């Protein structure tokens, strides 16, 4: 039940300009979506949520071309808007040092999803 609620919460929050994540379940799913959207390598084991979050943000900061993609079509602009919102959610979340198996599942589920 928790994974479904976290997934739905993140998807709903993508429709708002200044939403925020409310827990590590949402954070784990968001990290998976970012991994998928930006073509990052999926970790075999997500493990420590704060460390994974930090690693993803640092990886994106290093690779400027990932963040500065050209807007060639309206569809790409929409996808970039969603990517911007995902980054906003992740960067503005104050991560907690809590972890359980459901967070691991949410991360990997997010990695498998394609955002339209």
In terms of Cα–Cα distance, which of 99, 86, 23 is closest to 57?
A: 86
Asked if 110 and 36 count as a contact pair (C-beta separation under 8 A), the reply is: yes
The domain 2-112: what is its CATH number? 1.20.58.1400
In whole angstroms, how far apart are CA 115 and each of 11, 101, 110?
A: 10, 24, 9
- Within 10 angstroms of residue 17's Cβ, the number of other Cβ atoms is 6
Higher pLDDT, 81 or 36: 36
Q: What is the mean pLDDT of the chain?
A: 87
pTM, to two decimals: 0.86
Tokens 């949520």 found at: 49
Q: How far is CA 65 from the centre of its chain?
A: 18
Q: With bands split at pLDDT 50, 70 and 90, how would you rate the model's confidence at 83? A: confident
> Using an 8 Å Cβ cutoff, are 70 and 18 in contact?
no
Q: Is the pLDDT of residue 66 over 70?
A: no
49 neighbors 98 (Cβ within 8 angstroms): yes
């Amino acid at each position: 039940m928790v994974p479904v609620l976290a997934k739905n919460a993140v998807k709903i929050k993508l429709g708002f300009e200044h939403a925020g994540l409310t827990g590590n379940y949402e954070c784990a799913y968001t990290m998976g979506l970012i991994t998928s959207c930006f073509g990052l390598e999926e970790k075999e084991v997500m493990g420590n949520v704060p460390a994974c979050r930090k690693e993803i943000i640092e990886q994106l900061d290093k690779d400027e071309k990932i963040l500065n993609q050209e807007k060639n079509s309206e569809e790409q602009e929409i996808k970039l808007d969603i990517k911007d919102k995902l980054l906003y959610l992740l960067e503005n979340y104050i991560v907690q040092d809590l972890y359980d198996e459901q967070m691991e599942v949410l991360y990997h589920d997010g990695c498998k999803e394609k955002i339209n």
